[in-house]
Amino acid sequence: MAFEIGMKQAKPQNGQWDFWIDRGGTFTDVVGRRPDGTLTAHKLLSENPEAYRDAAVQGIRDLLGLARGEPIPAGRVGAVKMGTTVATNALLERKGDRTLLLTTKGFRDALRIGYQARPKIFAKHIIKAGNAVSSRCFEVDERVLADGTIERELNLAPVRDELERAKADGIKAIAILFMHAYRYPEHEQRVAKLARDMDSRRYRSATRFRR
């Protein structure tokens, strides 16, 4: 479903299209700026596997007027900027795959503790929401200091055993969050490689956890 927008912006360089995309849980909205600077909008279902694999890419293809199976011409697109609420919705609704969180030994409760924000500061009985990030947590014997110095070298053997247990229990996703990995990412990378080698379908990415 395409809509014309009655406004004109600065012309893109080199006769290219620019796109801004908002992908939600139900619909994906695409705004395209033509080479002449005019804007057009397009709305389509975020999930429609019978028609297309990815709504954002399909929205771009539709606005470019491409036939089914026709590749997007090189140099036709200048910029694509995209925002999405899919991950936020999954957290709010407690949906998504069960996840194993691998974190530095001694910090399994860091996400649950958070910033200790207390909406009712004098309440004696604090009720906290369940963990929306992971189904279970495993502490990895490793430690990197804030300056990137290795205080305790990574021990992969227990990690391998835990990954095997998680797989047997049906856990399909893994999150890797090590202390100060932005200074020394090798520990995260080694665990990520181990997870990928054991089962490439479960591995997605490692994340930098600053503390």
pLDDT tens per residue across span 112-170: 777 777 778 888 887 766 665 667 899 999 999 999 999 999 999 999 999 999 999 98
Q: Which of 43, 29, 37, 27 has its CA nearest to residue 6?
A: 37
Contact criterion met (CB below 8 Å) for 205 and 195 = no
Strand partners, 103: 139, 177
Give the residue among 178, 176, 154 at the shortest CA–CA distance from 166.
176
Pairing of strands 77-84, 38-45: unpaired
Tell me what the pLDDT averaged over the chain comes to: 85
Residue 180: count other Cβ atoms within 10 Å of its Cβ. 21
Q: CA-to-CA distance for 157 and 93, rounded, in angstroms?
A: 35
Amino acid (one-letter) located at 200: S
Alpha-carbon distance of 101 to 177, in angstroms, equals 7
What pLDDT is recorded for position 25?
85
Can you list the alpha helix ranges (DSSP code H) found in the chain? 55-64, 86-92, 110-113, 156-168, 186-198
Residue 202 is predicted with a pLDDT of: 55
Residues of the chain whose pLDDT is less than 50?
Answer: 208-211
Measuring CA to CA, which residue among 62, 36, 38 is closest to residue 48? 62
Among 46, 132, 43, 127, CA closest to 84: 46
Query: What is the spatial distance between Cα 199 and Cα 11, in angstroms, rounded to a whole number?
Result: 47
Tokens of 123: 């309440």
Max CA separation in the chain (angstroms):
64
pTM to 2 decimals? Answer: 0.60
